[in-house]
Chain A
Amino acid sequence: MSAANEQASRFDPGFAREFYALENGEYAKLCMQCGLCAVTCASREFMDLPPRKLFKLVQAGDKEAVLQSQTPWLCTSCMTCTVRCPRGIPIIDVMHGLKYFLIQQGSKAPVALMSKIFAENMLRRGRVFELALTNSFFLKAYGPVGAIPIALKMRSVGQPMLLKGRLPLKPPKKIKGLDQVHKIVKKATEVMKREGHQDGV
């Protein structure tokens, strides 16, 4: 009986229901495990779970496995799976919904952090300042001490980029009409709030 109790939550609709309530989350119900998305996905080899498995775990109510998965962060929104899914599941939209949910939950995933820093960095000048981006990402993700070995490991990439001028030391100029971009973002944030979402970025 104890084994049964442990498993009682396995196929419990609890988490599955929570997931289906996310934006586009209910599409995960329809996955029939054909695996076409998995064989199609360009980032599949970097994913811990193919979309197929992720949806199965949603259906099985495995909250922990779903929330810890890197899959939504590695999805590049390339659309390949979405056009091929025979069940017509808009897989990238489900991934977006999940990503948003994870950010709301305060996800500690490095990619989640990267997304946040990227947005902040980009909104400052309307352009990305790569050096600041990498620095703040390493510092925030790994702490001042942890960042050193990582930075050293990345030297072979960073040094040539510096030498070729691909990683400027000076920040780029602000783009023209930056205030317009800010206006757009502000408006989008307002719309999201009105629809019951919290801050989008």
Chain B
Amino acid sequence: MDKKIGFFICTGCGIGEALDVAALCKVATKEGKAPSCKQHPFLCGQEGLEFIKKDIAEGVNTVVIAGCSSRMNYDVFDFGPEVIVERINFREQVVWCHPANDEDTQMTAEDYIRMAMAKLKTLELPEPFVPEDVSKDVLVVGGGLTGLTAALEVAEAGYRAVLVEKESNLGGYTAAFYKQAPSRPPYTDLEPNEVPAKVQAVTDNPNIKVYTSAVVEKIEGGPGKFDVTIKTAGGSAGERVGAVILATGAKPFDPTPLENFGYGKYPDVITQAQMEELAAKGKITRPSDGKPVQRVAFIQCVGSRDKEHLPYCSAACCVESLKQAAYLKELNPEAQAYVFYKDLRATGKYEHFYKRLQDLGTVFVKGETSAIKIEQSGGQLVVQGEDVILREKVNLPVDLVVLANGMVPTTAGEENILNLAYRQGPELPILKYGFPDSHFICFPYETRRTGVYAAGSVRAPMHVPAAVEDATGAALKAIQVVESVSRGAAVHPRSGDLSFPEFFMQRCTQCKRCTEECPFGAINEDEKGNPLPEPTRCRRCGTCMGACPERIISFKNYSVPMIGNMAKAIEVPEEDEEKPRILVFACENDAIPALDMAGLQRMQYSNWVRIIPVRCLGSLNLVWIADAMSKGIDGVLLLGCKHGDDYQCHFVKGSELAGIRLSKVSETLDRLGLESERVQIQEVSIMDYDQIPGIIDRFAARLDELGPNPMKGF
């Protein structure tokens, strides 16, 4: 596209008072070669917009707006898909964080103009990749409560769902529940199990195709065009779907190895699932002799919250025990329930239910439940434990013991569930304890396979209402992805982004860096080892672009030369002027908002910095650091998200990969005689805005100590 640039400076919000705008216009037109430079006191207002639109009507197709952050007024400054809009942040990142009418502040603003003009040289409007034959159907794997709910939600939203269940009947673990814990106000009364009705609704729904006694044999392709092979009892079936919901749930933990509980040894020590079966008969009797029970002990955290077994809280068992204690009393008002617990995790609205159980006279005994011993002598079961509140030993004779055994995600097992034909493996990557990775902080259902959403207790331990909510959320996510793919747009966090990575294959050395580092498994490989990008799987993070040593991966609007040109456009003063320059590469997801917030709070920091936003630190290509250093920039600061198990990186692995790459650059710098401290990486979350001035000023002070970059002036 032939760019016809219109350059506009907004003088509102204090910009006009703090900067010499006429001088800036000169930089834009003389150095930046902008055909014209116009200023307006209120660009985002009606009159200001008309001012811009007038130029667009006259043929301008590339609008540069120097004013507020691109995170503000992005909808206001949207002139349609044919017009490139480039924003220069004079407000949050110049006049609000640096002194007004100051030589260095003015130089900062000038540099940002040079950088934007350099950026425009290679920037193009993206052309979306829209695959042919996009399917908007959703595959739901698992026909338990979560899967049933997800399929119904998908169908009710007007899409077709394909449900695959391993067993011959739908319903899963909760199908056999005698009653359900309260899910509605006042959150005190037991409810009938809603699963059988859901099974019926799914069976009756013409928009849901159900396969029972079936498993997924293979999933090929990507969002919008997953080709699924389903193995059924009688043979096999094929389905093309647009998205996948993994809802295979969890399995109950087997308490047999925990010998102290006597499970398997004493018939009257049972699991929660067995209790449901007993209650379903309408009268709770002992498995050993069929006698009705009077005194029942519920032992919490059996296997859960135990380093040796399940290190996590299984989240549902407390409420399930409360439920069972409640129906014990309902079926036999004379019965007495004893709940042995470590902490009673009846969170949220379940507090009302817990209170109700107390009101029913349930006795709660707090203590280390893993130390409890169940013994039987003379036909009498005795629970031996400790009440840590009374500080005394407990020896309680009971008729029945119910173990609140925790849950183990189905993904923790050996068998494959999804069988994805992905280079990076057939299943979802695991975060911890066998649970698939999900961005649990911001985007819980998202997994590291675009278009595949995990929901329910396979994603994290959870109870009934949480699983229903999860299923609904995942269904909406699935619909979002099929709709986005049909427009060639990315899903979160770059929702709506139409760009995608293009590979200049002639120069590919088959080094496999991109295929290995893509956090989403978006790049497969052919037999010769060439990368085979699947654009619909791509999240547009640019990690592959940062990884590629040949620098042959680029987006229409984001590329290695584009950022390199921006770095090189910074004017570096001579050494004797004592004006060091710091280049900051800041992640758009957290660091840029934090920088904006620091500006919003009028926090002041060194005006030696020049900031370049990046899609993710994962897209950092080391050549940019070389570009900056050889240009004479004194130091480079990378601001990205937290990584590790509790990562906050929106692209999961990006910031971590940047750290790994950086460790390599340090060696190179050392070899060149440049202190490796000149390049630093810092983790910044959006909440850390108050630390921004400290981080930048400390780095500036350290660079001052190191002295100027010796490459200056070369």
Residues of A within 8 A of B (CB): 1, 3-8, 10-11, 13, 16-17, 20, 26, 29-33, 53, 56-57, 59-60, 87
A sample of 6 cross-chain residue pairs with beta-carbon separation below 8 angstroms, ordered by A number, consists of: A4-B382, A5-B397, A7-B396, A8-B396, A26-B359, A53-B389
* B36 beta carbon closer than 8 Å to chain A: no
Q: Report the minimum CB–CB distance from A33 to chain B (whole Å).
A: 6
* B366 beta carbon closer than 8 Å to chain A: yes
Q: Chain B residues near A87 (CB, 8 Å)?
A: 355
Q: Chain B residues near A10 (CB, 8 Å)?
A: 394, 396
Q: A6-B395, A8-B396, A17-B361 are in contact. List 13 more A-B contacts (CB 8 A).
A: A4-B382, A10-B394, A11-B363, A11-B394, A11-B396, A30-B355, A30-B358, A32-B355, A56-B390, A59-B363, A59-B364, A60-B387, A60-B390
Given A1-B377, A1-B378, A56-B390, check contact A8 B358 (CB 8 Å).
no
* B159 beta carbon closer than 8 Å to chain A: no
Given A1-B380, A33-B389, check contact A7 B359 (CB 8 Å).
no
Complex Cα distance A7/B382, Å?
Answer: 11
Instruction: Report the contact-size class of chain B (Cβ under 8 Å from the partner).
Output: 20 to 34
Complex Cα distance A192/B346, Å?
Answer: 41
Q: Chain B residues near A26 (CB, 8 Å)?
A: 359
Secondary structure of the A contact surface, majority rule: helix
Given A1-B377, A33-B389, check contact A16 B361 (CB 8 Å).
yes
Q: Chain B residues near A8 (CB, 8 Å)?
A: 396-397
Complex Cα distance A31/B380, Å?
Answer: 31
Q: Report the minimum CB–CB distance from B133 to chain A (whole Å).
A: 58
Q: Report the minimum CB–CB distance from A176 to chain B (whole Å).
A: 49
Interface residues of B in 365-379 (CB under 8 A from A): 365-366, 377-378
Given A1-B378, A56-B389, check contact A30 B394 (CB 8 Å).
no
Q: Chain A residues near B397 (CB, 8 Å)?
A: 4-5, 7-8
* B336 beta carbon closer than 8 Å to chain A: yes
Q: Report the minimum CB–CB distance from A130 to chain B (whole Å).
A: 42
Across the interface, name the chain A residue whose C-beta is closest to B355: A30
Q: Report the minimum CB–CB distance from A137 to chain B (whole Å).
A: 35
Q: Chain B residues near A57 (CB, 8 Å)?
A: 390
Q: Chain A residues near B358 (CB, 8 Å)?
A: 29-32
* B338 beta carbon closer than 8 Å to chain A: yes
Q: Chain A residues near B366 (CB, 8 Å)?
A: 33
Q: Chain A residues near B336 (CB, 8 Å)?
A: 13
Complex Cα distance A97/B364, Å?
Answer: 24
Complex Cα distance A30/B359, Å?
Answer: 6
State whether A13 touches B396 (Cβ < 8 A).
no
Complex Cα distance A133/B394, Å?
Answer: 47
Q: Report the minimum CB–CB distance from B366 to chain A (whole Å).
A: 7
Q: Chain A residues near B378 (CB, 8 Å)?
A: 1
Complex Cα distance A17/B363, Å?
Answer: 12
Q: Chain B residues near A32 (CB, 8 Å)?
A: 354-355, 358
State whether B365 touches A11 (Cβ < 8 A).
yes
Complex Cα distance A87/B377, Å?
Answer: 40
State whether B359 touches A3 (Cβ < 8 A).
no
Q: Report the minimum CB–CB distance from B186 to chain A (whole Å).
A: 14
Q: Report the minimum CB–CB distance from B399 to chain A (whole Å).
A: 13
Q: Chain A residues near B338 (CB, 8 Å)?
A: 11
Interface residues of B in 123-168 (CB under 8 A from A): none
Complex Cα distance A8/B359, Å?
Answer: 22
Across the interface, name the chain B residue whose C-beta is closest to A6: B395
**The 8 residue pairs across chains A and B that have the minimum distance between CB atoms:** A7-B395, A4-B395, A3-B395, A11-B363, A4-B397, A4-B382, A29-B358, A30-B358
Q: Chain A residues near B382 (CB, 8 Å)?
A: 1, 4
Complex Cα distance A11/B383, Å?
Answer: 12
Complex Cα distance A56/B364, Å?
Answer: 10
Complex Cα distance A90/B365, Å?
Answer: 23
State whether B359 touches A29 (Cβ < 8 A).
yes
Interface residues of B in 322-362 (CB under 8 A from A): 336, 338, 354-355, 358-359, 361
Residue in contact with A4 in the complex, picked from B355, B390, B396, CB distance below 8 Å: B396
Q: Report the minimum CB–CB distance from B383 to chain A (whole Å).
A: 9
Q: Report the minimum CB–CB distance from A87 to chain B (whole Å).
A: 7
State whether A4 touches B380 (Cβ < 8 A).
yes
Complex Cα distance A53/B391, Å?
Answer: 11
Complex Cα distance A57/B389, Å?
Answer: 10
Complex Cα distance A87/B357, Å?
Answer: 13
Q: Report the minimum CB–CB distance from B358 to chain A (whole Å).
A: 5
Interface residues of B in 396-441 (CB under 8 A from A): 396-397
Complex Cα distance A29/B355, Å?
Answer: 9
Across the interface, name the chain A residue whose C-beta is closest to B366: A33
Across the interface, name the chain A residue whose C-beta is closest to B365: A11
Across the interface, name the chain A residue whose C-beta is closest to B359: A29
Complex Cα distance A181/B558, Å?
Answer: 91
Complex Cα distance A60/B338, Å?
Answer: 11
Q: Chain B residues near A3 (CB, 8 Å)?
A: 395
Complex Cα distance A172/B378, Å?
Answer: 72
Complex Cα distance A60/B364, Å?
Answer: 9
Q: Chain B residues near A59 (CB, 8 Å)?
A: 363-364
Pick from A31, A33, A60 the residue with the most CB of B within 10 Å.
A60
Complex Cα distance A1/B363, Å?
Answer: 21
Interface residues of B in 466-498 (CB under 8 A from A): none
Complex Cα distance A87/B358, Å?
Answer: 11
Q: Chain A residues near B355 (CB, 8 Å)?
A: 30, 32, 87
Q: Report the minimum CB–CB distance from B318 to chain A (whole Å).
A: 13
Complex Cα distance A179/B380, Å?
Answer: 65
Across the interface, name the chain B residue whose C-beta is closest to A26: B359
Complex Cα distance A87/B338, Å?
Answer: 21
Complex Cα distance A10/B365, Å?
Answer: 11
Pick from B359, B377, B378 the residue with the most CB of A within 10 Å.
B359
Q: Report the minimum CB–CB distance from B98 to chain A (whole Å).
A: 50
Across the interface, name the chain A residue whose C-beta is closest to B377: A1
Complex Cα distance A8/B382, Å?
Answer: 10
Q: Chain B residues near A60 (CB, 8 Å)?
A: 363, 387, 390
Complex Cα distance A143/B484, Å?
Answer: 92
Complex Cα distance A6/B336, Å?
Answer: 18
Pick from B359, B390, B397 the residue with the most CB of A within 10 Å.
B390
State whether A13 touches B394 (Cβ < 8 A).
no
Q: Chain A residues near B390 (CB, 8 Å)?
A: 56-57, 60
Q: Report the minimum CB–CB distance from B379 to chain A (whole Å).
A: 11
Complex Cα distance A31/B389, Å?
Answer: 13
Complex Cα distance A69/B378, Å?
Answer: 38
Q: Chain A residues near B377 (CB, 8 Å)?
A: 1
Q: Chain B residues near A56 (CB, 8 Å)?
A: 389-390
Q: Chain A residues near B359 (CB, 8 Å)?
A: 26, 29-30
Across the interface, name the chain B residue whose C-beta is closest to A12: B336
- Scan B189-201; emit 1 where CB is below 8 A from any A CB, else 0: 0000000000000
Complex Cα distance A12/B533, Å?
Answer: 69
Given A3-B395, A4-B396, check contact A13 B389 (CB 8 Å).
no
Across the interface, name the chain A residue whose C-beta is closest to B338: A11
Complex Cα distance A31/B363, Å?
Answer: 11
